[in-house]
Amino acid sequence: MQGPKFDGRQRAVVQRVRPEVDGGRFPIKRTIGEAVVVEADAFADGHDQLRCNLRYRRRGEAEWTEVPMQPLGNDRWRGSFTVEQLGRYEYGVLAWVDHFRSWRRDLARRTDPADIATALQLGAGLIEKGAARAGDEDAPLLRAWALSLTGDAPIEQRLKAALDESSASLMDKYPDRRFVTLYAHTLEVTVDPVRARFSAWYEAFPRSCTDEPGGHGSFRDCESRLAYVAEMGFDVLYLPPVHPIGRVNRKGRNNNLVAGPDEPGSPWAIGAEEGGHLGIHPELGTLKDFRSLVARAATLGIEIALDIAFQCAPDHPWVREHPAWFRWRPDGTVQFAENPPKRYEDIYPFDFESEEWWALWQELRGVFEFWIEQGVSIFRVDNPHTKAFPFWEWVIGELKREHPQTIFLAEAFTRPAVLHYLAKLGFSQSYNYFPWRNTKPEITGYLTELSRSEGREYLRPSLWPNTPDILPEYLQFGGRPAFMIRLILAATLGASYGIYGPPFELFENEPLRPGSEEYLNSEKYQIRSWDLLRQDTLKDLIARINHIRRENPALQYDWNLRFLPIDNEEMICYAKSSEDLDNIILVVVNLDPYHTQSGWVELPLEEFGLEAGHPYQMHDLLSDARYLWHGARNYVELVPQEVPAHIFRLRKRVRSERDFDYYM
Amino acid sequence: MQGPKFDGRQRAVVQRVRPEVDGGRFPIKRTIGEAVVVEADAFADGHDQLRCNLRYRRRGEAEWTEVPMQPLGNDRWRGSFTVEQLGRYEYGVLAWVDHFRSWRRDLARRTDPADIATALQLGAGLIEKGAARAGDEDAPLLRAWALSLTGDAPIEQRLKAALDESSASLMDKYPDRRFVTLYAHTLEVTVDPVRARFSAWYEAFPRSCTDEPGGHGSFRDCESRLAYVAEMGFDVLYLPPVHPIGRVNRKGRNNNLVAGPDEPGSPWAIGAEEGGHLGIHPELGTLKDFRSLVARAATLGIEIALDIAFQCAPDHPWVREHPAWFRWRPDGTVQFAENPPKRYEDIYPFDFESEEWWALWQELRGVFEFWIEQGVSIFRVDNPHTKAFPFWEWVIGELKREHPQTIFLAEAFTRPAVLHYLAKLGFSQSYNYFPWRNTKPEITGYLTELSRSEGREYLRPSLWPNTPDILPEYLQFGGRPAFMIRLILAATLGASYGIYGPPFELFENEPLRPGSEEYLNSEKYQIRSWDLLRQDTLKDLIARINHIRRENPALQYDWNLRFLPIDNEEMICYAKSSEDLDNIILVVVNLDPYHTQSGWVELPLEEFGLEAGHPYQMHDLLSDARYLWHGARNYVELVPQEVPAHIFRLRKRVRSERDFDYYM
């Protein structure tokens, strides 16, 4: 029989550490300043006392910081740490049997004097060993303590000395950790900027950003448009691709297979003789203009987000320079994108099984690097689920190692497993099924899943009521109220949301054809001119809502969402609150864009810190109206043609005669 | 930038493989002949067709066997294999993008002739490559097929050839697996004998197995008693420790601190000058007698299970021979078992933090090996949660490697996390909280948890209504009916169960004192003499129930348990069925040992394969009575003083006039 390769004396067990994604295969995500609350099972055989610590460090640091975990009962422990810097942190859990604490617990229970005397002697020995582990300062204190347990003093006196609290705390500093058990996995946290968790996005086509009808908007026009975006209170202005647009097989308006000579084509058909993914479409301006736009936006608190679409138009320079990056057909042509019998001949996908995949990966990484150098740190990635998954894990990992401020939004409108997997791989935010969740059970079920299930540790949803690809049926038929409803839902259900404008604020709702979710006269294929000054624009409502989001911390987090009962299936009610209950937001929405609806909402008074008998004030932050409510059940009525929602801030303190200056 | 250490072209993803315990850290458990049904997420980027295989092998084999998994939708796949031999199996999941299948799917959708022609050329190339991977027999067939896709034949003809099913199946045999993705963990299955899943245990003190009043029973007496145990239909006769009993600090009757000179002491105080864990208590007989008992039991289909209690009486030879295996107190004495202020001075626990822990482990392993040599393969392990956990994983792992027929029952009456952890470490069966689950919600909740939650993959419950340590309150007050109720519950809710007799069949119900769950005059501390011939013994009922268990496969599994509605809180109804629905057992129990109860049970007719309009027969296997039932809701009334339960076998076929010989 061979000798052992392990120390069998590690009696403590650590298991079921949470949060943990796929056994530690993927990191969880947090934003700067957030807490990482960790739980674990920790126990040992028998009745000995256990100590259990959480440890953490920034990646690359040699030293761990340890914090004690507290027992929750049933062998479950909890501890937490706060992530203070961008980048990757590591954490783990460790536990060990603490003979000193076991001894002390037992000592307090002993009754037989002979037994106590023996135990005191044993304890003195344990403390002596602690002294040997202690520093110069504490060792003499511990030795003196050990001495006081033995010797000639009366046993009651020695027992009292042994049970001294502060000496025990001193001893706790020098535990015997020879047989410490470390949890099998080192777990990781990606720490992102706050905007990865809390952000309001506005998507707009720069070429439509001109007031000159029929003209081609430029980055300079975009600069002028920044004030408009800032007035609405957005954090992020996201631009579809800004690169030269291919001429070969260019699409015409409304996705026509043939483009007229003056048609601009789709910005997603990237690359022409003027350049590829590092180039700028000449009519938009120059790289200098782009940098100027980024800088100007920054002064308004807006970040420019770029679209990263890894595909090429047939005349992209890479097709000529790197033929091995594409799949070639037996007829000597490059394989275009297709889903037979549909053909997308203006687009060549990359072949991620290319022999030269490593060179391709590096070049694609270089695209991100280039735009990061131009001041961009937010990227919206087009159809990531049609590019090889190992590439995303590698490229986001590499980029965030160098540039931990970067944020990646996955356009992951795909099957659930794939949507989740992309988030695990590193995407900071994810598009999701929100556009297709419109009824009360759909919204309740889906948002509960997003905010409560284990996936929340790595998947941050971004809620979009529309995109250039998606004009949902609900918006097509519900008129202006439908847009208000979906806006309010997106902006208050989700800490991150976005709209594609100006079609959104101008409630553009005509589809390409009945049954389609494509826009008629979509900006994807043509330049549009928008009347931003229309009286009925939703601009002011948007501004109001973004203001409310900024003022109320409860709306800046996803996990605190909680649905509340309301006795009308056309109405939905939910609350978000800060941990200290200082900021409690209650949202009631009429989901029916056609009819006035009313109902009784039911509040969990006690959980909101409200006393049953006292009135409280509901301050509607949308209308600025204030309502005095009383008790758990209260009546709400909403007219969709006016404002189809209340966004209440609950104000617990209602003044009474006792507050009057001369009352006492 | 360094070159990559991986191949980025592995585009398939395999994740969330189930069953999997703690990321593969622990094996799942099955018994011989059972299926291992495996599910996994498998997907790749884009729209390519995927293939996903389950692979398995016995531990130590070089070759894997692969079976295709079938898609369940939403990127979930399922496959299975059957474990045919005892020991350890390994399994894993792998997936790859199959360009041939993708090509074929797309080809069937293509409509443009030029497009089809190009695709046929491409396909011919894929098939040529397949031919290069194929064996001598199939390669020419594939080459011929490839040729038929190109050439001068009309395109319709070539397309038809390309879509030929049997050729495609041939090609499927030679996939391009260069970029196969293997799931990150190799998972394991422990394959146990059927008795690990399905067994009926009878525990009895051999020293009480004599018909001579006041005498000390021996193994020879036990041999005579075997017929009695076999008549009741038990598979396993479990004996408390059979070793020499310590004399130092020996306990007297009713746990008295002082034993009289003729008192026999507790069999769990193991070891005296006559020997230790390898010895036999002289009054029980010799090792030869023990072997004879084991052999005789085998002829009756009974296995002898031994109690393994790793602790020593003060006069155990190991205390003298291996002082380092114990903890010594400052007063020069060995630390006895204690939970201050309680002292158990007749017991010395081992010190699993001993410097000589490795020698201790080997010696303890040797104890198992010794008894395995005597023909024992079932061990009931006393208080495993007070011995170091790493020891159990090691010792059970080593023993089962050499002796895969062994079964270990953990006396794990401890906290949930520890109970589960011991099962993960390797124990084949586990005592559990069944003795304290008596009401309908308690039973429903607990048995649902045991049979449905993930823990079932490694934890096999053994249900005991009583043990020498536990006379539950329910049995103390419910009289004979309570014993019948608990017996029927244990034997039909659980595939494995046991009773401690003769106190059980003679419904001994007096506690040591009010509020205690200890037996008065417990056999743990004294020899008892039992009147096995009493008229009112439950022996016949036990025999009947064990017979029913053997005849009905549905009762031999745990996972098929399903609770059914019955509109009386004092009654419980549940069903177990074989997978083919050939054997459906419905149990209705009156949980109230005092009063007659009645209620309406509700059957899921469709799921049991019953037609709504047809009557069906309920055959009560306890009373042999047969009832004609009709529809989902049927009435049941149970008198506890008679038999407090029905164990129905559902017989779908009711004869009608059409079955009459001369009807047609």
DSSP B118-180: HHHHHHHHHHHHHHHHS-TTHHHHHHHHHHHHSSSS-HHHHHHHHT-HHHHHHHHTS---TT-
Cβ pair A588, A636 in contact under 8 A:
yes
The answer to whether the CB of B655 falls within 8 A of the CB of B617 is no
Q: Are the beta carbons of A386 and B46 separated by less than 8 Å?
A: yes
Asked whether residue A663 carries a pLDDT value surpassing 70, the answer given is no
B123, B151 in Cβ contact below 8 A? Answer: no
**Chain A partners within 8 Å of B46 (Cβ):** 349, 385-386
Report the distance separating Cα A25 and Cα B23, nearest Å: 10
Query: Does residue B1 register a pLDDT over 60?
Result: no
Over residues A6-31, the pLDDT tens digits come to 999 999 999 999 999 999 999 999 99
The CATH number of the domain where B588 resides is what? 2.60.40.1180
pLDDT digits (tens, 9 = 90+) for A155-198: 999 999 999 999 999 999 999 999 999 999 999 999 999 999 99
Say whether pLDDT at A1 is over 60: no
pLDDT, tens digit (0-9, with 9 covering 90-100), for B129-158? 999 999 899 999 999 999 999 988 999 999
Exactly one of B20, B382, B505, B558 is catalytic; which is it?
Answer: B382
Q: How many whole angstroms separate alpha carbon A503 and alpha carbon A208?
A: 11
Displacement of CA A584 from its chain's centroid (Å):
21
Give the pLDDT of residue A272.
98
The answer to whether the beta carbons of residues B392 and B418 sit under 8 Å apart is no
Domain identity same for A206 and A236 = yes
Q: Nearest-CA residue of chain A relative to B108?
A: A340
B338 vs A contacts (CB less than 8 Å): 106
* Interchain contact, A122 vs B329, CB within 8 Å: yes
pLDDT tens profile A254-283: 999 999 999 999 999 999 999 999 999 999
Q: Which of A179, A330, A358 sits opposite B353 (nearest CB)?
A: A179
Which of chain B's residues have a Cβ under 8 Å away from the Cβ of A74? 415-417
Residue B74, domain CATH: 2.60.40.10
pLDDT of amino acid B658: 72
Taking the C-alpha atoms of residue A325 and residue A354, their distance in angstroms, rounded to an integer, is 6
Under 8 Å CB pairs connecting chains A and B tally to: 163
pLDDT of A664: 61
Q: Looking at the structure, do residues B498 and B570 belong to the same domain, yes or no?
A: no
Interface test mutation site (partner A, options B48, B389, B415, max chain A beta carbons within 10 A): B389
Residues of A in contact with B47 (CB under 8 A): 339, 386
> Does the pLDDT at position B530 exceed 90?
yes
pLDDT tens-digit series, residues A229-254:
999 999 999 999 999 999 999 999 99
Co-location of A622 and A502 in the same domain: no
d(CA B191, CA B196): 9
Instruction: Name the nearest CA neighbour of A463 among A430, A416, A418.
Output: A430
Strand partners, A598: A637
B663 band by pLDDT with thresholds 50, 70 and 90: low
Tell me: do A85 and A18 sit in the same domain. yes
B5: which chain A residues are within 8 Å (Cβ-Cβ)? none
How close, in Å, is residue B512 to chain A by CA atoms? 25
Residue of B nearest to A359 (CA): B3
- H-helix or E-strand containing A444? helix A440-452
Nearest CA in chain A to B349: A46
Name the residues of A annotated as catalytic.
382, 411
**Partner-chain contact A357 B9, CB within 8 Å:** yes
- Per-residue pLDDT of A329-373, as tens digits, reads 999 999 999 999 899 999 999 999 999 999 999 999 999 999 999
Q: At what angle do helices B416-425 and B389-402 cross, to 10 degrees?
A: 30
CB-based contact B352 A6, cutoff 8 Å: no
Is B118 in contact with B86 (CB distance < 8 Å)?
no
> Given B41, B98, B411, B457, which residue is catalytic?
B411
Nearest to A41 among B109, B340, B417 (CB): B417
B287 and B219 in contact (C-beta within 8 Å)?
Answer: no
pLDDT at A142 over 60: yes
Confidence (pTM): 0.95
Distance CA B51, CA A192 (A): 37
Checking if the pLDDT of B503 tops 60, the result is yes
What residues contact A656, with CB distance under 8 A and at least 6 apart?
none
Q: Supply angle C-alpha A182, A427, B187, rounded to 5.
A: 45
Residues facing residue A410 across a β-bridge = A381, A430
Q: Are residues B164 and B218 in the same domain?
A: no
Min Cα separation B330/chain A (Å): 6
How far does the CA of residue B446 sit from the closest CA of chain A (Å)?
A: 17
CA A179, CA A209: separation in Å to the nearest integer? Answer: 67
Domain count, chain B: 4
Inter-chain CB proximity A353 and B43 less than 8 Å? no
Contact B43 A340 (CB under 8 A): no
- Say yes or no for a CB contact (<8 Å) between A13 and B421: yes
Contact A415 B75 (CB under 8 A): yes
**pLDDT computed for residue A2 by the predictor:** 58
Question: Smallest CA–CA separation between B334 and chain A, in Å?
Answer: 12
pLDDT digits (tens, 9 = 90+) for A375-403: 999 999 999 999 999 999 999 999 999 99
What pLDDT is recorded for position A654?
66
Please give, rounded to a whole number of angstroms, the shortest distance from the CA of B74 to a CA of chain A: 7
Residues B109 and B155 in one domain: yes
Q: In this predicted model, what pLDDT tens digit does every residue of A469-507 receive, in sequence order?
A: 999 999 999 999 999 999 999 999 999 999 999 999 999
Strand partners, A588: A573, A646
Confidence of residue A659 (pLDDT cuts 50, 70, 90): confident
B40 pLDDT above the threshold of 60: yes
Rounded to a whole number of angstroms, the distance from the CA of A369 to the nearest CA of chain B is 14
The first and second tokens of residue A8, run together, are 């069998």
Which residue does chain A place closest to B333, by CA atoms? A118
Q: Which of B192, B226, B245 is the last residue of a domain?
A: B192
Query: By the 8 A CB rule, do B110 and A340 touch?
Result: yes
With an 8 Å Cβ cutoff, are B417 and A76 in contact?
yes
What is the C-alpha to C-alpha distance for residues A532 and B647, in angstroms, rounded to an integer? 77
| Residues in CB range of B554: below 8 A, 6 or more apart | B560, B576, B577, B578, B583, B584, B585
Asked if A357's CB is within 8 angstroms of B8's CB, the reply is yes
Please give the Cα distance from B186 to B188 (Å, whole number).
Answer: 7
Whether the Cβ atoms of residue A121 and residue A107 lie closer than 8 Å to each other? no
- Same domain membership, residue A375 and residue A403: yes
Considering B140, B174, B208, which residue would you say is the last residue of a domain? Answer: B174
- Taking the CA of residue A454 and the nearest CA in chain B, the distance in Å comes to 13
Residues of A in contact with B151 (CB under 8 A): none
Residues B200 and B156 in one domain: no
Minimum CA–CA partner of B4 in chain A: A358
What's CA B258's distance to the chain center, in Å? 41
- In terms of domains, do A493 and A544 share one? yes
Asked if residue A583 lies in contact with residue A650, where contact means CB atoms within 8 angstroms, the answer is no
* Pairwise CB contact (< 8 Å): A8 & B46: no
> Looking at residue B447, what is its pLDDT?
98
Q: How far is A4 from chain B (nearest CA, A)?
A: 8
Minimal Cβ distance to B389: which of A6, A45, A107: A45
Decide if A9 and B386 are in contact by the 8 Å CB cutoff: no
Task: Report the pLDDT value the prediction gives residue B161, as an integer from 0 to 100.
Answer: 96
Residues of B in contact with A415 (CB under 8 A): 43, 74-75
Measured between beta carbons, the chain B residues lying within 8 angstroms of A421 are: 13, 15, 41, 43
Peptide bond into A19 cis (omega under 30): yes
Which of B555, B582, B607 is the last residue before a domain boundary?
A: B555
Known active-site residue B382: yes
In terms of Cα–Cα distance, which of B424, B333, B340, B337 is closest to B386? B337
Contact A644, A590 (CB under 8 A): yes
Of the given ranges (A100-104, B49-53, B124-128, B148-152), which has the lowest mean pLDDT?
B148-152
Please give the backbone phi and psi of residue A617, each rounded to the nearest 5 degrees, phi first: -100, 135
> Smallest Cβ distance to A416: which of B4, B74, B386?
B74
Count CA atoms within 13 Å of residue B559 on its CB side: 15
Largest CA distance in chain B: 107
Residue B461 sits in the same domain as residue B421? yes
| Same domain flag for A430 and A549 | yes
CATH of the domain at A523: 3.20.20.80
- Check CB contact under 8 Å for B118 and A330: yes
The region that residue A630 occupies, defined by phi over 0 for left and psi between -120 and 50 for alpha, beta otherwise, is beta
How much is the pLDDT for A38?
98
Strands (E), A508-652: 562-564, 571-577, 584-590, 597-602, 615-620, 626-630, 633-638, 645-651
Residue of A nearest to B42 (CA): A417
Whether the pLDDT of residue A218 is over 60: the answer is: yes
For residue B419, the chain A residues in CB contact (below 8 A) are none
Q: Select the residue of A125, A340, A388 nearest B8 (Cβ to Cβ).
A: A388
Mean pLDDT of chain A: 96
Same domain, B415 and B429: yes
Q: Which chain A residues contact residue B1 at CB under 8 A? A: 362
- C-alpha closest to that of A371 among A280, A492, A262, A439: A280
| Range(s) of the domain holding residue B3 | 1-97+177-192
CA distance A565 to chain B (A): 28
Kindly report the backbone phi and psi dihedral angles of residue B564, in degrees, each rounded to the nearest multiple of 5, phi listed first: -120, 155
Q: A219-231 vs A287-299: helix axis angle to the nearest 10? A: 20
Enclosing H/E stretch for A18 = strand A13-18
Task: Tell me if B415 and A43 make a contact (CB, 8 A cut-off).
Answer: yes
Contact A46 B386 (CB under 8 A): yes
Are A43 and B416 within 8 A, CB to CB? no
- Residue B341: cis peptide before it, omega within 30 degrees of 0: yes
